[in-house]
Copies of this chain bind each other. A is one copy, B any other.
Amino acid sequence: MDKMIVGVIGFGTVGAGVVKILLNDKEMLEKRAGIPVILKKIADLDITTDRGVKVPDGVLTNNADEILNDSEINTVVEVIGGENPAKKFIEAALNSGKNVVTSNKEVIAKHGLHFTSMAEKNNCSILYEAAVGGGIPILHAVRNSLSANKIEKVFGIVNGTTNYILTKMTDSGADFAATLKEAQDLGYAEADPKNDVEGYDVAYKLSILAGLAFRCHVDYREIYREGITKITPDDIAAAKRFNYSIKMTAIGMRREDKLELRVHPVMIRNSHPLASVNDAFNAIYIRGGSVGDVMFYGQGAGEMPTASAVVGDIMNLAFRKADGFSEDSRYDLHAMPVMPIDECVTSFFIRYTVTDEPGVLAAVSTVFAKNKVSILSIQQVDAAGGQAAITAITHPVEERSMKNALEEMKKLACVKEICSVIRVGLGE
């Protein structure tokens, strides 16, 4: 490639950020790339809204085909998000041998494998740094700088919306519904929040990150996923008493010939650096065979941080000089089996209510012991009206055993309710 001729599909928040960098910092980018970097077209259905950047005449179009059919454009930026019509735009671009840069985790999690083989066939590339961790350059580091490592583990906070909600719930003591509403009013959560609060977004990101880290194909549908909708102010208060914070996390580990992959809220000890990653920030740990633990921290979303990663990918393509396919290939496309959640081992926090009478502790303890659940710490929180609320943290135990213990507990007459079950720790 002797010049980058770029078409941007999608002129929303991220698209506007990309356009701002491409237009306002053109001189800097071209000096660094050593070749011209030209924004030729921007396609969006809405080309009248002011996006805060002045676009030259003739660049805006409401027809994506003007980009996809332009033989001069060699790099297509897809920043509309969601599965459709992004998928068909990406396919069309790759089919014409155009490089694709996207920030779209959903379409990559669902069709990344398909896109990768299309790109290989057409001697072009698809890059998607912005799809995981926003502005944090984690994927390129895994592919390139850390490639001398067999990666054993990836974990972290990769969703700004849930981290914002949990941070606010921790600060204010408010419940999930009220805090979600506030986040929606401030633009930190979408009108339909399911993608974030039910953990789909995190599962998409984990499938992409784990696929690159463990050099295999990870189907996001095989990832155990649990959202934050059931977290209550009582859970947050209990976590504080135990000196923990509740965070929505992605955890991926190599377990001999299987992968352990889980997306769920976790109680993290406050001395762990992830416990102080607050608001919309993201932080990702990579544990490599040689490098040990490295951590990357930054803004996981937002117009300019995400645009930084998108334009970084464009620059990465420009730096290569040669056309074609290099380390961005997921060359190793075998699937690794995912460990069933029942076999995963973790500590648990449980909160439950019992009748406040002699013998209750013994009855519950017998159920725990029978199922090999060993208790690290137990507290009676309060007692009123003949009932007591109990919080307990277990030693690490197989998920299956914990489930059996909870089932048996529910059958005890003295146990009124199992209010919460939250995993503890990051799978050390």
Contact = CB atoms under 8 A, between A and B. Distances in A.
A318 to B, nearest CB: 9
Given A25-B150, A321-B326, A31 B332 contact: yes
Contacts of A34: 331
A295 B296 contact: yes
B316 A145 contact: yes
Given A290-B308, A299-B292, A319-B326, A331 B31 contact: yes
A148 B140 CA distance: 14
Contacts of A294: 135-137, 296-299
A21 interface: yes
Given A144-B312, A146-B312, A290 B304 contact: yes
A291 interface: yes
**CB-CB nearest 9 A-B residue pairs:** A137-B145, A148-B311, A294-B298, A135-B291, A290-B308, A291-B308, A322-B322, A295-B297, A319-B327
A65 to B, nearest CB: 27
A427 to B, nearest CB: 19
Contacts of A299: 291-294
Interface string A308-338: 1111101110011110101100011000000
Contacts of A32: 147, 215, 327, 331
Contacts of A150: 25, 28
Contacts of A324: 321
Contacts of A304: 289-292
Given A294-B296, A296-B295, A308 B149 contact: yes
A300 to B, nearest CB: 11
Contacts of A149: 308
A273 B281 CA distance: 13
Nearest to A139: B145
Question: In the complex this chain forms, how many copies of it are found?
Answer: 2
A67 interface: no
A309 B145 contact: yes
A21 B312 CA distance: 29
Interface string A56-100: 000000000000000000000000000000000000000000000
B327 A305 contact: no
Nearest to A215: B32
Interface string A187-198: 000000000000
A34 B325 CA distance: 11
Given A29-B148, A148-B29, A312-B147, A305 B292 contact: yes
A309 B149 CA distance: 10
Most chain B beta-carbon contacts within 10 A, residue among A17, A33, A141: A141
Given A273-B273, A320-B322, 4 more contacts: A25-B148, A31-B332, A129-B145, A146-B312
Contact of A276 (B273, B316, B332): B273
A265 interface: no
A147 B273 CA distance: 27
B308 A144 contact: no
B21 A308 contact: no
A330 to B, nearest CB: 11
A307 interface: yes
B308 A148 contact: yes
A199 interface: no
B273 A316 contact: no
Contacts of A295: 295-298
A320 B312 contact: no
Most chain B beta-carbon contacts within 10 A, residue among A28, A147, A293, A297: A147
A307 B298 CA distance: 26
